[in-house]
Every structure is written in C-alpha cells, then in structure tokens.
Amino acid sequence: MSTPLLSIKGLTKTYPGVVANDDVSFDIGTNEVHALLGENGAGKSTLVKMIYGLVKPDSGTMTWNGQPFAPPEPKAARASGVAMVFQHFSLFDALSVAENVALGMENPPAMRDLARRIRRVSETYGLPLDPNRTVGDLSAGERQRVEIIRCLLQDPKLLIMDEPTSVLTPQEVEILFQTLNKLKAEGTSILYISHKLEEIRALCDHATILRLGKNVGECVPADTSARDMAELMVGDTLQTPTRTTEKAGDVVLDVSGLTLEPTNDYGTTLKNIHFTVRAGEILGIGGVAGNGQDELLAALSGESLTWPDSIKVNGQDVANLGPNARRELGILAAPEERLGHAAAPDLSLTENALLTGAIREGLTNNGFVNWSKTTEFADTIIKEFDVRTPGNHVAARALSGGNLQKFVIGREVLQRPEVLVVNQPTWGVDAAAAASIRQALLDLAAGGAAIVVISQDLDELMEISDRFGALNEGRLSDLRPAAGLSIDEIGLMMGGAHGMEVAHVGEEEKEGASA
Amino acid sequence: MDLSAINPVLLIASLMVAATPLLLAAIGELVVERAGVLNLGVEGMMIIGAIAGFAISVETTSPMLGLVAAMIAGAVLSLLFAFLTQFALANQVASGLALTLFGLGLSALMGQSYVGVKPPAMAKLDIPVLSDIPVLGPILFSHDPVLYIGIALTGAVFWFLKKSRGGLILRAVGESHDAAHALGYNVIRVRILAIMFGGACAGLGGAYISLIRVPQWTEGMTAGIGWIALALVVFASWKPWRVLLGAYLFGGINVLQLNLQAAGIAIPVEYLAMSPYLITILVLVIMSADKSGAPASLGRTFHASQ
C-alpha cells in the first residue's frame, strides 16, 4: 500500500483518573473504510476528537498524507479535509437546516446559494432534505442527513462517522451503506465508529479494536467472525442471557386508545396506541429515537396523565393516577435518562433508593424516613446487581454509566413489580453489564411480571422479548411474535426507508461545481 | 379636567424620549440573551453609565464624551459579570443580582459631589427643512442624536442576528453551547463580547436618563428601567422590532398617564401609574402567543469538559 492518508502513532490522552487513550497507533489508507470498534468507554470518541482537533493529545503524532498533522482546532482539521458526523450534540434545534449546514462550513456561500447546493447534494446522494425546515421538527434519521450533507458539501477526504446507524431503521442503514460505498468509490476514506459487529463486517475493509484505551487488535472484518471480534472487544467470553419459557398468564397491562400530546415543543404525539401484556411476558418496543418512546414511558409510568380507561392494570383504570399511586399498585418504570430522570445526580445512592422505593418497600413512617431500612435496601441493590461503588453514600453522578444503570434497574426490579416499563435499559452500558441487566429482566418475567422494554437496540429486543412492535411517528405497529422475525420485516415495522434513496452518483455526471 | 391641555405632537415627541433608555438597555440585553447568557445586572450597569456619563460630561463639558464614557463604564462593569460567570462559572442569576446591587452602591458613592450640578446640554439634531415640517417635524426630526442611534441600533441588531455570519454564530451559541463547541466555535469569547455589548448599551441608556431626559444626577435615578428592560426582552420573544414596539408602547403610556395626571383626570393616580406596566405586558403577552421560545441554552453555565 502507498502512503496512508492518515497515520496515527502512539497517541495518548489522559484525563484525571482515566487513561482515555494509551499509545494507540493505526493507519487509514486512501479509499478505505476503516472501522474503529470498541465498547462504550473504550476511548473511541476521544480518539476521533483528537483527529478532529477538539482535544489535544498528551503525546504521540499524526501524519496526514505524509505531512505532520496536529490540528489545533476543528477549523484546521476541516481545512485539511476531515469532516465528522457526530453522534450527539452538533445540531441546533431552533435553527433551519441551511443555517445548521452553514455553521459547519468554513466559508459558506450566501443562504440562497447554499439552499440550492443542499438541494442538489441531497438529491444526488438520495438523502431528501428541505433546507428551510427547522431542525427541531426533523426525525432522528433526517437530522443525521443534515450532518452528512454538511460534511459532503466540504468535499472531505476523510469522513468520520460516530455510531451513525443507532438512529436508523435497517432499510435506512442499507441505503446509508450504499451511499458510503459510493463515497469510497469517489476517493473518500471513511473512519467508521461502531460497536455493531455485523455492520462492520458488511461495510468495512479494515478494523482496529480498542479496549480500555488500548489498541488490542486489528483484523479484516470480512474474514473474522462476529464472535471473535466481540471477544477481542470485550476481552472475555460473552455470556448470552438464558431464558426459561414460561406459559404466559392473564392480561395484566391493557392499553387501549392511548393518545397523548407531548410536553415539550419538539416531542412526538402518541396516536391511538393499543396493546396488552400478559403476566410473564416481555413486550419489546423498537423504533428509531424520537418516535414517541419518551412519551410512551411517561404515559405508562404516570408522569403524564391520559384519558380515562386508556391504561388498565388487572382491570383497574390507572390512567389518571400519578407515579406514586401507580407504584402502590406495582407499576414501576425506569426511564432512559439515567442522570436527572431515573436518578437525582447529586443525591447519594441511598437517597436515590428512597425516591422510588419509599412506597413499596415501606421506607417512610408517618412522614419520617426510616434510614436504616433505606440503607439496607440500597445495599441490597448494590449487592444483588453488582454495582461497583465505594459505598451507598456516593452521589449518583460519581458512578459510571453502566454501574448507575444497574442501580436504577435493580432498584425497580427488587421492588417486585407487577408491571415494569423500561426505556433503553442497556444504553451506553458495557457488554457484561448489559447481559446481566437483560438476565434480570428475563428472570423477573419468569417470576410472573409483565414487562415492557422500549429500546433502540434491535438485537437486545430480539434476544429478550416474546412479542415485538415498533413505534413510528407516535403510532405503534401491529405486534408480532419476536421469534422468527426477519430484519427486513422489523425494518418495515419501523417505517421503512423514510424516503431515503440510493445515491444517484455515477448514474448521472456529478456536477463539477462542488470545488 | 382639561384634556385639551395635552398636545398630541408634544406627547408623541416626548414618548420617544421616554422610551429611548428602555430601548437601549433592552436591545443590549436581547443580544446577551440570544447568546445564552442571562444578565440580571442591567439596572446596575445603567446606573453606573448614568453617573459615569454625567461626571465625565460635567468635567469635560462635552456631552458626547460623557456618552462614550458611559458606554465604556457599562462595558467594564459587565466584564466583572463576564469574569464571574464565564471563567469562575458562578451562577448567572446570583452574579447578575450582585452586579445590580454593586452598581447602585458604587454609583451613589461616585455621585456624591454631583448632586444638584447641571450638566452641559446636548444639542438637538435640528435637521434643516425637515424639522420645519408641521407636525412631522417636531415628532420625527428634532430630537437628540442618541434617540436616532437607538432606532438605528435596533435595525442593526435585527440585521446582524438575521443576516450576518456573526449573528448566526451568536444564535448558535445561545441555542446549544455544546454543539457550537463541538463545531469549533469559541463559546466563551462569543459570550464575553455579547455581555460587553449589553453593558455598553445599558450604560448608554443610563447616561441618556442623566444627561438628556432628566438632566441631573440623583441617587437611584434609573428607577427600575433596567428591570423593565429585562421583562421587555422576554415578552418581546427575543425579537428586536418587538422590543422597539414594547419600549415605545411603555414610554407612550407612561407619558400619557403623566399628562392625564396633570390634566386632573378622575382616575386615582395609583391606577394611572401602574397602567404602563399592565398594558405593555398585556400587549406583548398577546403577541408572544406564537411559537417562539427562549434560546435553549439561556442561563446555563458552559464548561468545555471534553
């Protein structure tokens, strides 16, 4: 191979208490799709932030086409031809698509010309987008198109994509891959960050695997099995959760005609949702983020009250009961956002245990807190769910994401719920912790609870749910038995390709005006 | 009661004068808030501007130098707020309140020897021919230059926010400082510049009161205009032309109710005195019924932690 496009040698970055990257080296060739594989917290994000000039390495060097490369700020990286599609945090809800694109460019043309160029590029690459729309009104997939088009307008030589498929349906993923392959054929290299092994096997030419900040191996994904890559990534053999099939019991949770307006400006309206969940059954609800997941959880947990008779538990109407009244009846919930929603960041684990456990565990007495009992409850959660913490006095924000997630799930599971609703139970959690959380949910169902798991991780839903449905624009698809569902069928339930098309590059001459 | 004593031409001309300090302070605060910073110290920066402008123009006998000094004084005081909130990461609400209290105290101290002094008068901008037009002349073309600066500034801020690249970056910072940082914009620098602009505008507004509108120095003479400016920005949905409208409405009703009091109308004075606040808020609440919210990062502390 000739000179690599980007060569990284011995990059190290330390934060107080954590070595985010420890002596990482690898090369990205021209016309190569290079995968960066690793679990959450393995240091992938820090590494790409160094390439993009957001973070300065403590030591180590990068060379770009043989020249030393040390971008002091993103502007310099962009000028060299590095473009990045972010996982979070890079769009402005209240601004229009064209304004968002302009903010990511060095020398944007006048707004009218820019709008025209956005239209042209979006048509060429099959990513339909109206430049005048407000970004806050777009779906997650459309927001990603904004980011991709922002990058494409700069003719990047290296396109960095940080977990791009987490917000797409399987059909959209397939089209995105075709777009990426066209880009590669045009001479753009791609650094593709993911923890989804099958995607990497389908798309990437070469993979570098990070674990705890270290480069632990490289491979050609097409020739390596997903299992081998997973073990390199995790550094251990993976435990797959086991389930004991129990016969489902009577209907416990009965939702009919649930309609709910969102509480914030850019939320989704739930439209006429019907489903039932039996005792001992896990209902998996998939769908791309922002299609009503948060609203559904709020409706089921009692944070948002709904029309009478829209939610019944064991035949009793609970639609106008608040969260505490529902807890009393055994309806518990664990929302997606760990810090600030499921747990109060600055309160200790004991205090957080009290917040949802007070009623079912009898932790208060005539308005006084029974601290010894509360501490005992917190310790039980920590022990049973293997929460790694110096003690129950530690503030919730001091725990790592995975440990806090085990705590908030454990807190609800240990209250012996009759109905448990969880949203993204293993989001941002390492594989071992995720496996133990899934096992706990399966065990709870085996004990006769009715469980609703809302998640964007399709593999997770296929692994644990008995029946599956998908949310799309606030509507719930028909429910199907999870066993035997093909990925295509799931994708269609999630809303299919949402108007995305295969890139037209090559079919028609690419207009040369992009320079 | 003698309503005929109220001259409509003079009424309109004087409402524009009454509205200008409020307009200046509010347009400055609007820019600060669009950058995502809530500075509750407007009142303090105004009064510091009032005394600094007054003192310098008395000492130099140049009202223009006084106005410049007022802007500098307001901007310097706002730097204190910028340091506290942007570098020391202090709470913006508490820092803003402290700034107001500090400004009121400091201005009283600085102004002790200026009580009862008469400042040099600001020449009116008598535009030949135009100011001789009956009715329109006195209303539109025979004011002091600062009043026109206030209107021009509103237009400039509107253009800056809507059309310019700098304005787009400023709005982006106010909308999501994390995203702006990720794209490589210097959030702290943008915010400090916005805070200083807000300080200079508030200082100018304060000096307008002490040099042109009243003109004399008394302790606490801004009398809550800074707080009204803060409320005005919110009720105007962070839009420059609505701030202008709100300021003129407030100034107009204020002047009108003073005239009505003088004419001896049979409504208790207290009701007349509260009417500008009530009517301004009512009108702007009705207007802000459309969907246009606050900048999403307003009042949140930014810390580049990655």
Question: Using one digit for the tens of pLDDT, what is the confidence trace for A181-211?
Answer: 888 998 899 999 887 778 888 889 999 988 8
Domain check: are A230 and A274 in the same one?
no
pLDDT value at residue B259:
86
- A261 and A230 within one domain: no
Q: Are the beta carbons of A91 and A100 closer than 8 angstroms?
A: yes
CA distances from A383 to A141, A354, A380, A391, A417 (A): 40, 17, 5, 11, 19
Number of structural domains in chain B = 1
- Please tell me the distance from the alpha carbon of residue A71 to that of residue B39, in angstroms, as a whole number: 35
Residues A218 and A307 in one domain: no
User: What pLDDT, on a 0 to 100 scale, did the predictor assign at position A515?
Assistant: 34
Of A49, A95, A102, nearest to B306 by CB-CB distance is A49
pLDDT band at residue A229 using 50, 70 and 90 as cut-offs: confident
Q: Does A501 reside within a domain?
A: no
A92 contacts in chain B (CB < 8 Å) = 171-172, 175-176, 179-180
Res B170 pLDDT > 60: yes
CB atoms B172 and A95 under 8 Å: yes
Are residues A105 and A214 located together in one domain of the fold? yes
Mean pLDDT of chain B: 89
Alpha carbon distance A338, A352 (integer Å): 11
Residues A357 and A414 in one domain: yes
Residue B227 lies in a domain: no
One-letter-per-residue 3-state SS of A408-426: HHHHHHCCCCCEEEEECCC
Specify if A381 maps to a domain: yes
* A153: confidence class by pLDDT, cuts 50, 70, 90: confident
* Range(s) of the domain holding residue A182: 6-239
A185 and chain B in contact, CB less than 8 A: no
CA–CA separation, A199 and A166 (whole Å): 11
| Range of A262-266, A357-361, A428-432 with top mean pLDDT | A357-361
Contact list in A for residue B293 (CB cut-off 8 A) is: 94, 265
Tell me, yes or no, whether A230 and A295 share the same domain.
Answer: no
Q: Are A311 and A206 members of one domain? A: no
pLDDT (tens digit per residue) in A98-151: 999 999 887 788 888 999 999 988 888 878 888 999 988 887 778 888 888 888
Give the minimum alpha-carbon distance from A272 to chain B in angstroms, rounded to a whole number: 26
Give the mean model confidence (pLDDT) for residues B47-63: 95
CA B104 – CA B106 distance, rounded (Å): 6
Query: How near does any CA of chain B get to the CA of A235, in Å?
Result: 26
Are A480 and A347 found together in one domain?
yes
Q: pLDDT digit string (tens) for A303-318? A: 989 888 899 999 999 9
Most distant CA pair in chain B, distance: 69
Domain residue limits at B142: 19-222
In a domain, B294, yes or no: no
Does any CB of chain B come closer than 8 Å to the CB of residue A71?
A: no
| Average pLDDT for B187-208 | 96
Interface contact B171, partner A, CB < 8 A: yes
Residue of B nearest to A104 (CA): B183
> What confidence score (pLDDT) does residue B20 get?
95
- Quick count: other Cβ atoms within 10 Å of Cβ B286? 9
CATH number at residue A384: 3.40.50.300
Confirm or reject contact between A103 and chain B (CB < 8 A): yes
Tell whether A504 is covered by a domain: no
Q: Which residues contact A116 (CB under 8 A, 6 or more apart)?
A: none
Q: What is the pLDDT of residue A222?
A: 84
Closest residue of chain A to B292, computed from CA coordinates? A94
Q: Is residue A511 part of a domain?
A: no
Looking at the structure, tell me whether residues A211 and A266 fall in a common domain: no
The pLDDT, as a whole number, for residue A199 is: 83
What are the helix (H) ranges across chain B? 8-34, 42-60, 63-82, 92-110, 136-140, 145-163, 165-175, 177-182, 187-207, 225-235, 240-263, 269-287
> Sign of torsion, CA A347 A349 A352 A358?
negative
pLDDT-derived band at B43 (thresholds 50, 70, 90) equals: very high
| Predicted TM-score of the model (pTM) | 0.76
Domains identified in chain A, total number: 2
User: Do both A198 and A308 map to the same domain?
Assistant: no
- Determine, yes or no, domain membership for B143: yes
Is residue B236 in a domain?
no
Q: Chain B within 8 Å of A55 (Cβ-Cβ)?
A: yes
Q: In angstroms, rounded to a whole number, what is the distance separating the alpha carbons of residues B160 and B260? A: 40
Yes or no, beta carbons of A103 and B183 under 8 Å apart = yes
* Residue among A311, A342, A346 at smallest CA distance from A325: A311
What pLDDT band is residue A514 in, cutting at 50, 70 and 90? Answer: very low
Q: Which residues of A touch B189 (CB under 8 A)?
A: none
B169 shares contact with chain A (CB less than 8 Å): yes
Q: What percent of chain A has a predicted confidence (pLDDT) above 70? A: 92
- Per the CB < 8 Å rule, is A78 touching B176? no
pLDDT per position as a tens digit, A379-406: 999 999 888 888 888 888 888 777 888 9
Choose the final residue of a domain: A212, A239, A266.
A239
Q: Is B172 on the interface with A (CB under 8 A)?
A: yes
- β-strand partners of A48: none
